[in-house]
Amino acid sequence: MTDLNQNFNQAKDSLNLEDKDMKKLPQGLNVLTILTYIGCALGAISAIWNYISASTSYKLYESLNGTMDSMKTENSAVNSMLSGATDMVRKAYENRLYILLAGLVGIALTFYGAMQMRNLKKQGYMIYVVGEILPILSFAIFIGFGGLFGGIAMIFSTLIAAVFIILYTMQRKHLVN
């Protein structure tokens, strides 16, 4: 039984924090960094999946390109939405490598910034903010938000990033150096 207790004491926490460190780390910052780690993992999976599936989407776009003219309606809003969606698929395919790289760099920066803030370092906040803004800017530059689908995706991504930036801003008072 003593071996089990020794192993448990050595493991302590999967985030490699000792009991004394947990007392210094504010609860809000603890929760935010854990959520950030989960978001980074999901973001990395999503970025890689989008890179892989971009060619499939583009091939489907190419096969439907001839039938797009027959799908046009008298409603200009629907025509604009269809045109924006096909344009977005084409741009996502053409810039898939740049979008993947910008996404992975942004994820790495947010992860590193959250690690720094978990260690109560102020520099982590700026690194985190840059990491959150970089994928949004890359989406705007490479794909744009002219179409309805691009606009909805930008609003959703920006809203989540803004909420987390605001929450981390409220926790800056706990960061020391």
Domain total for the chain?
1
**59 lies in some domain:** yes
> What's the pLDDT tens digit per position in 89-134?
788 888 889 999 999 999 999 999 999 999 999 999 999 999 999 9
Which of the four pLDDT bands, split at 50, 70 and 90, describes residue 13?
very low
**108 lies in some domain:** yes
**75 lies in some domain:** yes
Give mean pLDDT, residues 86-91: 78
* Per-residue pLDDT at 5: 55
* Per-residue pLDDT at 60: 80
**109 lies in some domain:** yes
Give mean pLDDT, residues 132-146: 84
Higher local confidence (pLDDT), 53 or 130:
130
**16 lies in some domain:** no
**5 lies in some domain:** no
Give mean pLDDT, residues 55-73: 69
Q: Domain of 144?
A: 27-174
Contact 143, 95 (CB under 8 A): yes
Which of the four pLDDT bands, split at 50, 70 and 90, describes residue 1?
low
**61 lies in some domain:** yes
**122 lies in some domain:** yes
Contact 142, 95 (CB under 8 A): yes
- Of 61-70, 88-97, 108-117, 155-164, the range with the highest mean pLDDT is 108-117
The pair of three-digit structure tokens given for residue 46, joined into one six-digit string: 């999503």
